[in-house]
Amino acid sequence: MKIPLLSTSLASLALLGLAACAVGPDYQRPALDAPAFKEAADWKPAAPAAELPRGKWWEAFGDPVLNGLEDRVELTSNTLHVAEAQYRQAQAAATIASSALYPSLSADASANRSRAANHGGAPTSVTNTAAAGLTAAWEFDLWGSVRRSAEAGRAGAAASAADLESVRLSLHAAVAQTYFSLRVADTQQRLYDRTVEAYARTLKMTRNRYAQGVDTRADVAAAETQLKTAQAQAIDLRLQRAQLEHALALLLGQVPASFALAPADLTATVPPVPELIPSEQLERRPDIAAAERRLAAACAGIGVAKGGYFPVLSLSGSLGYEGSRFPHLFTAPNELWAAGGSALLPLFNAGRTSAQVAGARAAYEESLGNYRQTVLAAFQEVEDNLAAAALLTQEAATQDEAVTAARQSATITLNQYKAGTIAYLEVVTAQATQLQAERTAVQLQGRRLNASIALLKAAGGDWRGPDAARR
C-alpha cells in the first residue's frame, strides 16, 4: 500500500532521471593531422590503443641476463608498485563517483530503557522503547551532472591505467639502457686491461733500450706517462661500472649491497631498424592514451560545473517500527513511515557557478593543448630515434674501419720504433689513436643499443606489431 506507492514513485523518478539529457558538451576525440615521417614512410594519425599487448620487446636483443632482469623488475620495483597503487586509487574514485547515480539504503535499530525523576512523590515508571527501520535517499540526476561526474571518474581511471603502462614501459626501458651502459663499461674495462698489459710491455722494452743507450730518458718518461694514464682511466671506468650497478639495484627495488652482476663483454645484438614502423605502434603509446582520457575527463567536468545552474532534487523515504514492547514491535500499530522530496534552486552565489564553468572550460583547453603536444612529442621521439638508429649504424661501420686502420698504424709504428727508424713519441701517438678508436667503437655499440631501446619506447613497445607481440 504505502510502501509500494513510495517504491513506484522512486522508480518512476529514477527512470525519468536516466532518460534526461546530461548538461555540458558530449566528448569527441579531437582530430589531429599527422604528416608523413621524415625518417620513414607515411604514418596515419595516432589514436590511443594502450590496451594492446607490447610483448617482451627486450628479448629482441638476445641477452639472457637482460631478460632475467626485466622479468624481475615486474615483481620487485617500488616505482611500479606505487603506480599500481595509484591506479587502484583512481578505480576507487571512479566507483565512488558512479555510486551517486543510485539510491542509498540504510538500516537502523535502537533500544532504550529510561526512568523519569521522582518529583513531589509522584509515582515513577520505567519505560522501554525499541525501534527498527529502513531509510532510503536519492539525489535526482535530472540534469545529468552526476552522470558527468561518473563519466569523468571513469575517464580518470582509464588515464591512471595508461599512466601505469607508461611507468611500466619507461621502467623496462631504463633497465635495458642501464644494463647496456654497464656492459659497455665492462667491455671498455677489458679493452683497458689489454691496453695496460701492452703498455707495460712497451715500457719494459723502452727501459731496456734506455739501459743499452738506444733510447733517451724522455722516451722512458713518455712510456711511463702513457701507462699511468691508461691505468687511471681504467680506475675511472670501474667507478662508472659500480655506479651503474647501483642504479640497476635501485630500479629493481634492492639495496646495492644485495645486488651484483658479474662482468661480461657487450654481446647483445642490435635489432635492425625496420623499413616501416606500423602507425598502430604510436597508438599504443600510453602517455597519449592518458592525455586523451584526461581530455575526456575535463570535457565531462564542464557538465559537472554547469549542473550548478540547475536545481537539486532529492527524494527520501523511511519505513520502520517503534514501540515499547519488543516481542510485539513488528506489528501494524507500531508501524511508521515517511516519504518526501526537496528541491534546492540556486538564486545568487556571486558568480561562483559561472566561474566554475569558466574554470572547467579552461581546464578542457589546457588538456586539449597537453594532448596535442603529447602527440607531437611522440612523433618527434620516433623521428629522433629512427634517425639515430640508422645513422649510428653507418657511423659504427665507419668507426670499425677506423679501428682497423688505427691498429695497423700502431703495429707499423711500433715495428719502426724497434728498428730504430722513428722516435718513441710517434709510437705514443699511434697507440693513443688506436685506444681512442677502439673505445669509440665500443661506445658507439652502446649508443646503437640505447637508440634501439629509445625507438622501441617511443613507438610504445614492440615494433613488430600487435600480432608479433602476442606470440
Within-domain flag for 112: no
Q: Residue 97 to residues 150, 153, 226, 443: CA-CA distances in angstroms?
A: 5, 6, 71, 53
Rounded Cα distance, 90 and 304, in Å: 18
pLDDT digits (tens, 9 = 90+) for 287-335: 999 999 999 999 999 999 998 888 888 888 888 888 777 677 777 778 8
Q: How confident is the model at residue 345 (pLDDT cuts 50, 70, 90)?
A: confident
Spell out where 292-331 has E strands. 312-323
Check residue 355 and report its DSSP letter. Answer: H
Question: What pLDDT does 194 receive?
Answer: 94
HSE-up (13 A, CA, CB side) for residue 290: 15
Residue 211 to residue 422: CA distance in whole angstroms: 18
- 198: exposed, middle or buried (C-beta count within 10 Å: 0-12, 13-18, 19+)? middle
Half-sphere exposure of 45 (CA within 13 A, CB side): 8
Q: What is the mean pLDDT of residues 400-418?
A: 95
Residues 200, 227: contact at Cβ < 8 Å?
Answer: yes
Q: Confirm if 167 and 79 have CB atoms less than 8 A apart.
A: yes
Q: pLDDT-derived band of residue 25, with 50, 70 and 90 as boundaries?
A: confident
State the maximum Cα–Cα separation within the chain, in Å, rounded to a whole number.
136
The answer to whether position 260 is within a domain reads yes
Asked, for residue 8, whether it belongs to a domain, the answer is: no
In terms of Cα–Cα distance, which of 388, 362, 406, 394 is closest to 450? 388
Query: Does residue 87 lie in a domain region?
Result: yes
Phi, psi of 172 (to 5 degrees): -65, -40
Residue 328 is inside which H or E element, if any? Answer: none
Number of separate domains in the chain: 1
Q: Which percentage of the chain shows pLDDT scores above 90?
A: 49
Residue 1 is assigned to a structural domain of this protein: no
Query: Which carries the bigger pLDDT value, residue 34 or residue 341?
Result: 341
Can you tell me the distance from the alpha carbon of 263 to that of 174, in angstroms, rounded to the nearest whole number?
19
The Cβ-side half-sphere exposure at 247, using a 13 Å CA radius, reads: 16
- The pLDDT score that the predictor gives to residue 464 is 56
What is the distance between the alpha carbons of residues 308 and 345, in angstroms, rounded to a whole number? Answer: 9
The residue range of the domain holding 442 is: 46-100+138-298+356-470
Q: Which one-letter amino acid corresponds to residue 370?
A: N
Asked whether 203 and 219 are in contact (CB, 8 A), the reply is no
Domain assignment present for residue 264? The answer is yes
The residue behind cell 603529447 is: 374
CATH number of domain containing 198 = 1.20.1600.10
Residue 430 lies in a domain: yes
Q: What is the pLDDT of residue 119?
A: 64
**pTM of the complete model beyond 0.85:** no
Tell me the per-residue pLDDT of 431-467, one tens digit each, with 9 for 90 and over: 999 999 999 999 999 999 999 999 888 888 765 554 5
- Alpha-carbon distance 387 to 385, whole Å? 5
* Residue at 31 is within a domain: no
Q: What is the pLDDT of residue 6?
A: 43
Closest CA to 142 of 24, 26, 17: 17
Nearest to 87 by CA among 197, 9, 176, 164: 164
Give the model confidence (pLDDT) of 42-86 as tens digits: 444 445 555 544 578 898 888 999 999 999 999 999 999 999 999
User: What is the distance between the alpha carbons of residues 46 and 32, in angstroms, rounded to a whole number?
Assistant: 8
Q: Rounded mean pLDDT of 396-412?
A: 95
